[in-house]
C-alpha cells in the first residue's frame, strides 16, 4: 500500500493515487503505486492527463513498456512514461538481490 498520505492532495490526485495502487496485479501496483507516491504532487494538468491515460492501459502492455520489452504507442509515449521507466530502473538497481552480497 501507499507510503504517502493523500492529505493535501486535490481530489483528482487522490483518486489517481488510489487507482495507481489498485491495478489488480501486485507487481504493477508496486511499480505504478510507488511512482505515484513519489510524483503525484509534481504533475501539472497535462502530466496528470498523461498519468491517467497510462494507468488505464492494460497491465501487460504497461509492464512491457516500462521494462522496454515492447515499443510504446505514440499516444502513450510521454514524459510521464519516461519518468516512470527511469524511476523503475533506479528502484530496481537500488534493491539488493538475493545472493548478491558486498
Full set of structural domains in the chain with CATH? 11-93 (1.10.150.250)
Total residues belonging to the chain: 102
pTM value is 0.83
Extract the residue ranges of the chain whose pLDDT is less than 70. 1-4, 92-102
Q: Per the structure block, which three cell numbers stand in for 100?
A: 548478491
Angstrom distance (rounded) from CA 98 to CA 100: 5
**Per-residue model confidence (pLDDT) at position 95:** 54
Q: Which residue from 48, 50, 70, 49 is spatially nearest to 60, judged by alpha carbons?
A: 70
* SS3 category, 10: coil
Amino acid at each position: 500500500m501507499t507510503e504517502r498520505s493523500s492529505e493535501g492532495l486535490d481530489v483528482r490526485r487522490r483518486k489517481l493515487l488510489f487507482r495507481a495502487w489498485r491495478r489488480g496485479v501486485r507487481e504493477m501496483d508496486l511499480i505504478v503505486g510507488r511512482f505515484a507516491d513519489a510524483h503525484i504532487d509534481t504533475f501539472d494538468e497535462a502530466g496528470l492527463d498523461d498519468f491517467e491515460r497510462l494507468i488505464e492501459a492494460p497491465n501487460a502492455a504497461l509492464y512491457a513498456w516500462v521494462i522496454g520489452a515492447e515499443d510504446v504507442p505514440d499516444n502513450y509515449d510521454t514524459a510521464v512514461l519516461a519518468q516512470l521507466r527511469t524511476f523503475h530502473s533506479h528502484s530496481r538497481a537500488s534493491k539488493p538481490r538475493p545472493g548478491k552480497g558486498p
